[in-house]
Amino acid sequence: MERGVTSVVRLPPGFRFHPTDEELVVQYLKRKVFSCPLPASIIPDVILARFDPWDLPGGCEEERYFFSLKEAKYPNGNRSNRAARSGYWKATGKDKAIKSPAAGVGQVVGMKKVLVFYRGKPPAGAKTDWVMHEYRLAEPGSRACLFPQRKNSTHSCAMPTGDWVLCRIFKKKRATDTDAEAEGDEAVANHKGMMRFIDFMGERDRDGRHHLPAAACASNSSCLTELSDGCSSSSSGGEESSSRKLPLG
């Protein structure tokens, strides 16, 4: 087993671990911070600075979840160390607030930060397809950080035990050429299914003007027909019709 990671509990075939943001914060991260029993011991502890995302335990084609202690970049600063073995994680966009109805209306229980992995050293690193969602608890003074004590409980859940975060790491999938061709073929098939062929030649009257077949106009409400002897039809009130029909011939 590599240094910096605890053992991973593998799920039986057919089982998948797909928790919501709220479940990750309330049921897993909060319990981890306060050293309370977890619903299942399937999220290992990892020192992310020792790994590149493709070297982390688990399958590279799946989402992977890890607990990690935040490491300060500078001794007297609040910025986190985002370095890894051969690159670094760079935050993108704004943090998203995670709310839980169980904690109260509009109560924020945690925050989610999105980061992208870059190879090399900042600021000249090369962007990759690896993405991390980093979850942290709400501010320490928030009610969401208070863990309720149960009567006759043998576990102490009163004080946080560390500045833990929960990380979801995955590789963003790109569309392959085969996928693009399949989507293109499907679009062409759908387009052909909607096409209707209309004989625009139709028949000519004595003046040499075209008439569209009645069936064609019945199947296409947007087709144009000619005016009646150069005059527009009028309503019973003497007002000119709002939709004029243009000659085709």
Task: List pLDDT tens digits, range 195-238.
Answer: 444 454 555 555 555 554 554 444 444 443 343 444 444 444 44
Does 59 score more than 70 pLDDT?
yes
- Secondary element (H or E) of residue 89: strand 87-99
Average pLDDT over residues 26-43: 92
The ranges assigned to domains in the chain are 21-174
What are the tens digits of pLDDT across the range 131-174?
999 999 987 555 555 555 555 555 556 667 778 999 999 999 87
- Determine the topology of domain 21-174 in CATH: 2.170.150
Q: Which residues contact 248 (CB under 8 A, 6 or more apart)?
A: 200, 209, 210, 212, 224, 225, 226
* Ranges of H-type helices in the chain: 21-23, 30-33, 177-194, 214-219
Q: What is the pLDDT of residues 89-135, one digit of tens each?
A: 999 999 999 998 876 667 899 999 999 999 999 999 999 999 999 99
Taking the whole predicted model, whether its pTM rises above 0.85 is answered as no
